[in-house]
Amino acid sequence: MTLRFSRTPRLIKVFLALVLIVPIFTPVNFVILQPGDGTALFPKVLTVKSADAKTYKPNGEVYLLAIWVSTPDAKVLGAEVLGCWARADCVVFPRSVIYKRNISSKAEAAQSKQEMKVSQSDALTAAKNLLTRRYPTVDTSHLTDSSITVKLPDTGGPSGGLIFSLGLVELLTQEDLLQGRKISGSGTIAADGSVGAIGGIAEKIIAAKKAGASILFASRSNCDEIPKDVQGISVIAISNLNQAVDYLQQPLSTRSTGVTGCTNLGA
């Protein structure tokens, strides 16, 4: 006797195809985050426009770091999420973790622009306070928000505050803080110079390395998110702007790659 096994009914095949394939091409409620580029501040992005301000040509470069995040209105497909998971430099978050409920891309962009504007103002105040303490011969009385120009289209958020302050200190002092190096950083800045945490620090490290930076300053509040096995760049965790300047003033021979300043990493 011959046993015959019936083939899987066509209806079941269609059902399985819908279950397994359709979600790949269907929008999902996730946001994709990946490293962006490093933007050089000198000579065009950050400038001091004041007839009374004396500036000095930097011997090196300072990079503002960015990350790429899909917008609130973007339709992220299941296939894109799977592709992101397969990459080491790409991260997927639930949309609610990154964005407020029902916020539009236009509203998010406006909010980010406002945050960056406030960040630039705080960066100037922090830089002026540091200059008054450490470089009393530098006259900062004429420096106002309107005398500082930042040209960064399609960029927003508060994470550039620290690097704006460092850039201003470099421009306004004769001391060669950069010593020919490419440095970068990411952290919020308060008027008193304290440095706060930012999102996407691991992606910012990748962006800094892509830009060729040898140093990245980060907030100590980000230490829990900094990878333990950082190579090819010095990640310096700091609490305030003053500590960043202290580090830059050290002799070049004392530098090493890896993470410094994070007690949870043993550094």
What's 42's domain CATH number?
A: 3.30.230
Q: What single DSSP character describes residue 3? A: -
What pLDDT score does 23 carry? 60
Structural domain includes residue 209 = yes
Structural domain includes residue 6 = no
Alpha helices in 183-240 (DSSP H): 201-211
Structural domain includes residue 250 = yes
Region 251-261: mean pLDDT is 79
pTM: 0.85
Q: What is the extent of the structural domain holding 156?
A: 35-67+104-265
What pLDDT score does 21 carry? 62
Structural domain includes residue 113 = yes
Question: Which range is least confidently modeled, 123-137, 149-163, 168-182?
Answer: 149-163
Structural domain includes residue 89 = no
As for how many domains the chain has, the answer is 1
Q: Are 138 and 169 in contact, with CB atoms under 8 Å apart?
A: no
Region 118-129: mean pLDDT is 96
Angstrom distance (rounded) from CA 19 to CA 157: 39
What pLDDT score does 12 carry? 67
Structural domain includes residue 20 = no
Structural domain includes residue 91 = no
Structural domain includes residue 120 = yes
Q: What single DSSP character describes residue 67? A: E
